[in-house]
Amino acid sequence: MVPTYEVDSFSEDTKAFCTIDKRAGVYKQRVTSRDVKIEDKIYQADEWMNTPSIILSNIPRRLHLQQDHPVAITRQLIESRFPDYKTHNNLFPVVTVGQNFDSLGFPADHIGRSRTDTYYLNKSTVLRTHTSAHQADTFRANESAGYLISADVYRRDAVDRSHYPIFHQMEGARVWDRDALDAGKSFAQTVWEDVAKIPKHSITVEDPNPSFHSERNPLQDGHSAEEVEAMGAHLKRSLEDVVVAIFNAAKSAAADAGETPDTPADEPLKVRWVEAYFPFTSPSWELEVYWQGDWLEVLGCGIVKQSILDNAGVPNKLGWAFGIGLDRIAMLLYWIPDIRLFWSTDPRFLSQFSSTAPIQRFVPFSKYPACFKDVSFWLRSSTSAAGGLSRNATTTSHDFHENDVMEIARDVCGDLVEDVRLVDEFVHPKTGRRSMCYRTNYRSLERTLTNEETNELHGRFCQQLVEKLGVELR
């Protein structure tokens, strides 16, 4: 007999994803050992499932909504620059492949669709990799001219001090309706009037490229040059206003902490626009800021692909969208050196931040010692269909992916691993077998690790490499 899991109600997205029997007016859902429960929803796992328990357990944390958390404060700072935009901060992180990729025009062979990059629950269901997964649905709802979506997003990635498998993004968009213009005004005139309402700034902006280019950054069919010029100006001025607020706050925090040679408090703020490519906008740009002696990429943006708006049922609308990483901005604002700190529950970290106080530079507690350990292994030389931690994997040199190593390190060691990096590799001249050597840095943010702890962690890490990837330890 198949066991069941009973709840009072199921949301529509849960019904779409799960096998449900309705008996006596109550939904009962089949649950097997391969099913995944996320809060009140259950998803049927299949061979595509590659989401470890450590990721699933952190979904309820929602740092962007946690009171006085630096990620939440950063969100609020950016939201304050868009006072008339509708905010969406509670959208559930499980989405369909259609929402995450297809609705945005991702090609079928895009690397983002790979199980080496994305967390799957089953072939048609993923943990969202970006807030843009909700873009088409939000356009379809048609509740406001401008909106902001802030959310936790999930990607399999490197293990180091600036990357974490869960991070936070803000998606923003603004549209205008061609069918709702004031009499006698063109679409471009209407947008330019809105540009004039954006707060002015005095920062230096480098924008050497034209608003569009026929080859590098093309116009879309149906968009006139005048319309894109106006929307591009509104987009850029809106985001320049955000950057001024963020970096002025960061400079003030640096000044309060004592001016340092590499970040003088009186250094003029400089920003520049560079051409970019995204599957869901055209033309597209990235905004960079000159900070600590180098150009820092802050966000990506562009004119929304008209096909997205057409498919959302609002073909009469045109607009722009942007995406910004909240964790990266929060690290910059507060001078936070390690992204793992955001997930700490240590009061020495959390007590330093307040949404009602000015931005203050983070004061580190003790720097605990690192412990480096290496693991070397051979990949098998025969071919296989692995990749993305497939079940009963036998990893070969053809399908090996570094993100699998990173995922095992995180799953075994959690936040006790600071970084994992490849330090050596070679191919045996006679057998053709490939050898890899990875160095793992074990370091707690809250205490000194003992040799016994790190040896035990490293032993389990090596064991899992063998069991999950089928490698041969050297």
Q: Which fold has domain 371-386+399-473?
A: Alpha-Beta Plaits (3.30.70)
pLDDT for res 26 = 42
pLDDT for res 382 = 52
In the chain, which segments carry CATH 3.30.70.380?
371-386+399-473
Contact 391, 32 (CB under 8 A): no
Q: What tokens appear for 356 in the block?
A: 């009602």
The closest alpha carbon to 325, from 303, 308, 342, belongs to: 342
The closest alpha carbon to 50, from 124, 118, 128, belongs to: 118
pLDDT for res 269 = 83
pTM for the full predicted model? 0.86
pLDDT for res 6 = 33
CA–chain centroid gap for 304, Å, is 19
Spatial separation of the C-alpha atoms in residues 170 and 325, rounded to whole Å: 7
pLDDT for res 329 = 94
Spatial separation of the C-alpha atoms in residues 312 and 89, rounded to whole Å: 21
Q: What tokens appear for 464 in the block?
A: 């899992």
Residues forming beta bridges with residue 21, ordered by sequence position: 28
In the chain, which segments carry CATH 3.30.930.10?
41-351
Residue segments in the chain with a per-residue pLDDT below the cut of 70: 1-33, 257-267, 382-398
Three-state DSSP class for residue 72: helix
Helix axes 225-257, 70-79, angle to 10 degrees: 140
pLDDT for res 33 = 53
Phi, psi of 38, deg, nearest 5 = -125, 105
pLDDT in tens, 8-36: 333 344 344 444 444 434 434 444 457 89
Spatial separation of the C-alpha atoms in residues 225 and 197, rounded to whole Å: 22
Which of the four CATH numbers 3.40.50.12590, 3.30.1360.10, 3.30.930.10, 2.102.10.10 does domain 41-351 have?
3.30.930.10
pLDDT for res 240 = 96
pLDDT for res 259 = 52
Three-state DSSP class for residue 339: helix
DSSP state of 305: P
With a CB cutoff of 8 Å and minimum separation 6, the contacts of 446 are 344, 346, 365, 368
Contact 327, 164 (CB under 8 A): yes
Spatial separation of the C-alpha atoms in residues 360 and 249, rounded to whole Å: 9
Contact 136, 410 (CB under 8 A): no
Spatial separation of the C-alpha atoms in residues 293 and 267, rounded to whole Å: 10
Residues forming beta bridges with residue 377, ordered by sequence position: 436, 473
- HSE on the CB side for 207, CA within 13 Å? 15
